[in-house]
A and B are shown apart, each in its own frame.
Chain A
Amino acid sequence: MKFKDYYATLGVERGATEAEIKKAYRRLAHKYHPDVSKEKDAEARFKEVAEAYATLKDAEKRAAYDQLGRHRPGEEFRPPPGWGTQFGDAGSVFEDVDLADLFAGIAGHRGRGGQRGPSGAMRGADYEARVSITLEEAFHGTEVSLDLTTTEFDEHGAPRRVPRSVKARIPKGVADGQVLRLPGQGGKGARGGRDGDVYLAVSLRPHRLYRVSDHDLFLDLPVTPWEAALGATVKIPTLAGSVNLKVPAGTRAGHHLRLAGRGLPTPHGGAGDLHAIVQLTMPSELSARERSLLQELAAASSFNPRQHLE
C-alpha cells in the first residue's frame, strides 16, 4: 500500500487544529472543486484534497492515520501490527487496498456515493469519468473504453481495489458537456443494495473545420468575389459527406448560408443545422489577365460601398 501525506496535501502541520484543517480544506475546495474551478487538473487535485479532508476532519480516522507513522509520499508501507483490528471494521488484509479505502471503512462510512438503506442494504458507489470524443464520433455514435478502479467489500467488510474496464456505448447526437449515465456500472452493492452508476461527462474535441454550438455546426466558406457577385454552386464537406451548396448571386462576406438538418443529430430524431459563413477570398497573386479584368471592372463600376461614410 502506498503512503499519502494527507497533512501535506492540505498544506497544514501535523499538529494542526480542527479549525485550521477545515480552513485549509475550504480554501483548496474553492480553488479545485470541479463544479466551480477552471484550474488544470482541478478534478484530480480536488479528489486528493477531499480524500485528505475526509480522514483528517474525523477525530477517530485522524488518530488511526497518525498511528500509521511518517513515510514519504508514494512509499510502500504496511500499517503497524494490530492496527486493523484496533480501528473498527477496516479489516486486516492490506493487499490491493488504497489508503482511502481503509479510512472509508472506519466508523461505518463508505465514502462518496455509497449509501446504506433502511434494511442495511448498501448501494454501490457512483463513479464519475470524463471522455473526449471527435465530432465524427458524436455524429455516428461510438464506443469508449473506461478504465475504473472500484472498491468492493468482502463479507467481512474488508475493502479491495478491483480494476475494471467498461465499454460504454455513446449514442449519436451527444452534445458538448453532456453528462451520460451508465446504470449499474459503478461499485458493487452489498447486502442486496443495487450497484452504483457511472456518470460520464462527454466533451467534443475541437475540429479542424467545424465550430459547434449546441447541435449546430459552423463552417468558414471561402468564396471568390466573382462567385459571390455572380452566384455559384460549390461543394462543401458535411459530417455525412460532401454536398453541393448554392451561393446566391450578390452574396456578401459574413453571410450565413444554412443547410437545414446537416448539423449534429439530436436525441429525439432530427438534427441541428450546418451554417456556412461566407468569406470573400482574393488570390494571393493576380495573373496579368486577372489584373486586367479587375482594372476594367474598376473603371466600369460606379458602385461605392463607402457612400454612407461620406
Chain B
Amino acid sequence: MTTDRGEAFGFDEERPLALSDLADLSGLSEAEVLELVDYGALSPADATAGQCVFTVRSVTVARAAHRLREDFELAPDGVALLLSCLDRIRDLEEQLRALRARLPRSAGTGAAGVGG
C-alpha cells in the first residue's frame, strides 16, 4: 500500500477564485454556477461585465450544490432553495451550540422543598 503526505487547506479564506476554478473544484459547469448566482445560492465577490470572481469560501457551497443536484436530481432553483434551507438549519444549529456552550454543564433544575 502506498502512503502519501499532504497539507490540508481550509476554505475560510477570502482568496479570489475564478469562475472556471470554482466550476472545476465543484464539479458544476460554469453555466450551472452562473445559474446558481442568478438564484442567489452563490454570491460572487466581484461581478463585473463578462467575468465572475468568487472567493474560496464558495467552494463548499458549490460542492454541496453539485451533490444535491446529482443525488436528488434537482433543477437549479430546487438546489438553491434546498441550500438556503440547509444554511438556515446550520445557522440555527450554530446558535444552539453557542447557547449550550454558555450554559454551565451542571445547569438543571433541582428538587425544591416547600416550606410551610
| Binding partners A and B | yes
Binding site for B on A (CB under 8 A): 26, 29, 33, 35-36, 46, 50, 112-113, 115, 123, 126, 162-171, 174-175, 178-185, 197-200, 211-214, 216, 218, 220, 254, 256, 267, 275, 277, 279
In the bound complex, do residue B68 and residue A179 qualify as a contact, i.e. CB atoms below 8 Å apart? no
Beta-carbon nearest neighbor of A162 in chain B? B2
Identify 16 residue pairs between A and B in the complex whose beta-carbon atoms are under 8 Å apart, listed by A's number.
A112-B70, A164-B3, A166-B3, A168-B5, A168-B6, A169-B6, A178-B11, A180-B8, A181-B8, A182-B6, A198-B6, A212-B97, A213-B97, A213-B102, A267-B13, A279-B106
Q: Does B18 contact A (CB under 8 A)?
A: no
Distance of A218 Cα from B9 Cα, bound (Å): 27
User: Given that A29-B71, A36-B86, A179-B60 are contacting pairs, would A220 and B6 also be in contact in the complex, using a CB cutoff of 8 Å?
Assistant: no
**Lowest 4 A-B CB distances belong to which pairs?**
A180-B8, A211-B101, A213-B101, A213-B98
User: What's the nearest-Cβ distance from chain B to residue A212, in Å?
Assistant: 6
Q: Does B111 contact A (CB under 8 A)?
A: no
User: What's the nearest-Cβ distance from chain A to residue B32, in Å?
Assistant: 13
In the bound complex, do residue A165 and residue B86 qualify as a contact, i.e. CB atoms below 8 Å apart? no
In the bound complex, do residue A181 and residue B102 qualify as a contact, i.e. CB atoms below 8 Å apart? no
Distance of A182 Cα from B104 Cα, bound (Å): 37
In the bound complex, do residue B10 and residue A169 qualify as a contact, i.e. CB atoms below 8 Å apart? no
- Which B residues touch A162, using CB under 8 A? 2
Binding site for A on B (CB under 8 A): 1-13, 24-25, 27, 59-60, 63-64, 67-68, 70-72, 82, 86, 94, 97-98, 100-102, 104-106
In the bound complex, do residue A165 and residue B104 qualify as a contact, i.e. CB atoms below 8 Å apart? no
User: Given that A26-B72, A165-B1, A167-B3 are contacting pairs, would A174 and B97 also be in contact in the complex, using a CB cutoff of 8 Å?
Assistant: no
In the bound complex, do residue B4 and residue A165 qualify as a contact, i.e. CB atoms below 8 Å apart? yes
User: What's the nearest-Cβ distance from chain A to residue B26, in Å?
Assistant: 10
In the bound complex, do residue B11 and residue A181 qualify as a contact, i.e. CB atoms below 8 Å apart? yes
In the bound complex, do residue A165 and residue B102 qualify as a contact, i.e. CB atoms below 8 Å apart? no
- Which A residues touch B67, using CB under 8 A? 33, 35
Distance of A35 Cα from B6 Cα, bound (Å): 26
- Which B residues touch A179, using CB under 8 A? 10-11, 60
In the bound complex, do residue A211 and residue B9 qualify as a contact, i.e. CB atoms below 8 Å apart? no
Beta-carbon nearest neighbor of B70 in chain A? A112
Known: A169-B6, A211-B105. 14 other contacts (CB 8 A): A26-B72, A33-B72, A36-B86, A115-B27, A162-B2, A164-B3, A165-B2, A167-B5, A168-B6, A170-B8, A171-B10, A179-B11, A200-B8, A267-B10
Distance of A214 Cα from B93 Cα, bound (Å): 12
Distance of A214 Cα from B98 Cα, bound (Å): 8
In the bound complex, do residue B2 and residue A164 qualify as a contact, i.e. CB atoms below 8 Å apart? yes
User: Given that A164-B1, A166-B4, A185-B4 are contacting pairs, would A212 and B101 also be in contact in the complex, using a CB cutoff of 8 Å?
Assistant: yes
Q: Of the candidates B6, B11, B13, which one forms a contact with A185 in the assembled complex, judged by CB atoms under 8 Å apart? A: B6
User: What's the nearest-Cβ distance from chain B to residue A114, in Å?
Assistant: 9
In the bound complex, do residue A220 and residue B60 qualify as a contact, i.e. CB atoms below 8 Å apart? no
Distance of A35 Cα from B33 Cα, bound (Å): 19
Distance of A240 Cα from B20 Cα, bound (Å): 42
Interface centre among B1, B59, B100 (most CB of A within 10 A): B1
Beta-carbon nearest neighbor of A165 in chain B? B3
- Which A residues touch B101, using CB under 8 A? 211-213, 216, 218
Beta-carbon nearest neighbor of A198 in chain B? B6
